[in-house]
A = this chain, B = another copy of it.
C-alpha cells in the first residue's frame, strides 16, 4: 500500500503515517506493507507504475478523471476507484414541509455547513415542492444561514476554489442569492444560500450540478410531482440522495425511490447525508461522476472488495490448499459448498 499525502496537510499526514507504521510493527505485519509519499505530480507517476495494481482516490472531478484516463492508458490497465463529485440532492415532500418546516431548515443548514461544508456528502441541492410550508421553510432557512458563522477551510487553495465556485453562481443570470451568513474575514468562507430555477436543472445546466466544496447550498422550488420526477431523472450520479417524507407522503416517496436508487449509492429517509458510518451496510459510492466505479464503496466493510480478485483452485491437492479452503474449515468461515452456505467441515466422504 502506497499512500500519497494530501499537500494541504502534510504534517498531519506524516503523524498519521507514523501511527500506522507503529501499528504495523506492533501487529507483526510485514515491513513495507504501508508507505507514504509526498508530492504533486508523483500521484500520476504512482498510477502509471507497473507495480501498482489498483488505485483509490478522493478528490476533484478533474483530478479523478485525469488519473482514471492514466490508469486506462497503461499497457496493463488497472482499476481506479475515484470518489469525485456529488451535490447530494435532498428532497422535501409536501407533508414533511408542512409539519416541520423550521426544524428542517435548521437541521439542513447545520448539515451543509458541517466541517466548513467540506463533506463530500454535503447536501448541495435542496428540492422542495411548492405548497403549504414552503414560505415558512425558506424564511427559516434564510434566518439560519444569516446567523451562520464564517468558517476556516482546509487550506488556501480550498478557499480559493470555494470563492471561484461562488463567483460562478453569482455570474449565472438565473441564480440569485437568497441569504448570506455572518461576513467573513480574510481567509474565511462565508455561508451562502442560493436559489436556482427548476427549468435550468431540467435542461441539465452543468453549473447547477457542479460540486462547490464549502458552506453553501442551492434551493430549487419544484411545481409538482411530475416535475420532481423529471428533475431526479435529469440529475447526474450521486453519492447520496435524501427524502424527507411523512406518512401522507408515502405514495410519492414510493414513486421516487426507484429513481433515486438509479442515481445514488445511498438513499436516506428523514436524515442528513453528512454522516458516513463505517459499517457493513454503508455504500459510499455511486454512479458517475460521484465515482469512476459504481460497483464499489470507499467506506464500510465492503470497501475491501475493490482490491480483491477471485481465484479458482481446481482439483488442488489437500496439502496445497490455504486454510480458507481446507476441508476442516479451520478458520470457521461461512462457505458455499455445493450450493449451500455452511460453516461445517467437508467430510472425507464428500
Contacts and interface: CB of A to CB of B under 8 A. Distances in A.
Interface of A: 68-69, 72, 76-77, 79, 237, 245, 250, 253-254, 257, 261, 264-271, 280-283, 285, 287-289, 292-295, 297, 302, 305, 308-317, 319-320, 334, 336, 339, 341
Contact of A310 (B69, B271, B297, B319): B297
Q: Is the interface of A mostly helix, strand, loop or mixed?
A: loop
A120 B336 CA distance: 27
Given A77-B288, A266-B312, A280-B336, 6 more contacts: A68-B77, A269-B313, A269-B316, A269-B317, A269-B320, A297-B310
Contacts of A69: 72
B309 A295 contact: yes
A310 B314 contact: no
Nearest to A281: B312
> Which of A265, A280, A312, A334 has the largest number of chain B CB atoms within 10 A?
A312
B285 A310 contact: yes
20 contacts: A68-B77, A76-B237, A76-B289, A245-B317, A250-B320, A253-B317, A253-B320, A257-B320, A265-B311, A266-B312, A267-B312, A268-B315, A269-B316, A271-B314, A271-B315, A280-B339, A283-B310, A294-B309, A295-B309, A295-B310
Nearest to A310: B283
B283 A311 contact: yes
Shortest 7 CB-CB contacts between residues of A and residues of B: A283-B312, A266-B312, A268-B314, A76-B288, A269-B315, A72-B72, A294-B309
Contacts of A316: 257, 267, 269
Nearest to A282: B312
A250 B317 CA distance: 9
A86 to B, nearest CB: 14
Contacts of A271: 314-315
A329 to B, nearest CB: 14
A72 B76 contact: no
Contacts of A315: 268-271
A341 B336 contact: no
Nearest to A247: B317
